[in-house]
Amino acid sequence: DTGVSQDPRHKITKRGQNVTFRCDPISEHNHLYWYRQTLGQGPEFLTYFQNEAQLEKSRLLSDRFSAERPKGSFSTLEIQRTEQGDSAMYLCASSLPSSTDTQYFGPGTRLTVL
Amino acid sequence: RKEVEQDPGPFNVPEGATVAFNCTYSNSASQSFFWYRQDCRKEPKLLMSVYSSGNEDGRFTAQLNRASQYISLLIRDSKLSDSATYLCVVTPWDGTASKLTFGTGTRLQVTL
């Protein structure tokens, strides 16, 4: 399967714990995006990487959230001191530089904070 | 006001019916427009791009009206497999990368 992959697919954690999610984009896609989707809403943009550089962050990305893409390939999204309001589906997408509006999504990581 | 507004539905239609979804967007600088489909608990998948001239892909027709900042999707001869949430998506264009802005989605349920 050469699509976008995400790990884990599901994560249940207790409030206050730290969690980290991983995204592996389609190879040769040097643009990588993170979105968050809550129940009954469309996905909301969180942040974007071009290669290893994080070029844009949404106001939704509080200081408890940090994303990295150290070698310009896979990316991680870490949430520190999780809160119940962080419960959501975290979606990763990737695109080619020539067509950044055509983004391919991974299956998502569903986070439940108890 | 949300940047992209859609009627959340649900739209319950019988198999074979024609159904239309509408979407409005507030940012007149929006450059690209899409419809995505999302099945329950799955990731969004691109259904089709939307152009001012209108475009058709089989039973699906999309239309853009820039003057009214309005996007539509028409599904003819609905199938049970069309049951899903349809997300209206717009992007600005800043010359580098596109941040997709999604509507809340319109849920379609096609019944026998």
Query: A39-43, B5-9, B49-53, B101-105: lowest mean pLDDT where?
Result: B49-53
pLDDT at A108 over 70: yes
Q: How large is the average pLDDT for residues B38-49? A: 94
CA dist., res. A42 & res. B89, Å (int): 9
> Given an 8 Å threshold on Cβ–Cβ distance, is B100 in contact with A45?
yes
Name the residue of chain A whose CA is nearest to B32's CA: A101
What's the gap in Å between the CA of B5 and the closest CA on chain A?
10
What's the gap in Å between the CA of B106 and the closest CA on chain A?
10
Q: How many CB pairs under 8 A join A and B?
A: 59
Is-contact B105 B87, C-beta < 8 A? yes
CA dist., res. B4 & res. A100, Å (int): 19
A105 in contact with B, Cβ within 8 Å: yes
pLDDT per position as a tens digit, A9-40: 999 999 999 999 999 999 989 999 999 999 99
Q: Which residues of A touch B103 (CB under 8 A)?
A: 42
Which pLDDT score, from 0 to 100, does residue A1 have? 55
Q: How large is the average pLDDT for residues B67-72? A: 94
Beta-bridge partners for B86: B37, B106
What's the gap in Å between the CA of B98 and the closest CA on chain A?
5
pLDDT over 90 for what percent of chain A?
82
pLDDT at A101 over 70: yes
For chain A, the 3-state helix, strand and coil shares in percent, each to the nearest 5, are: 5, 50, 45
- Measure CB to CB from residue B87 to each of A42, A102, A107 and give the nearest one: A42
pLDDT at B95 over 60: no
Q: Which residues of A touch B46 (CB under 8 A)?
A: 102-104
CA dist., res. B50 & res. B90, Å (int): 10
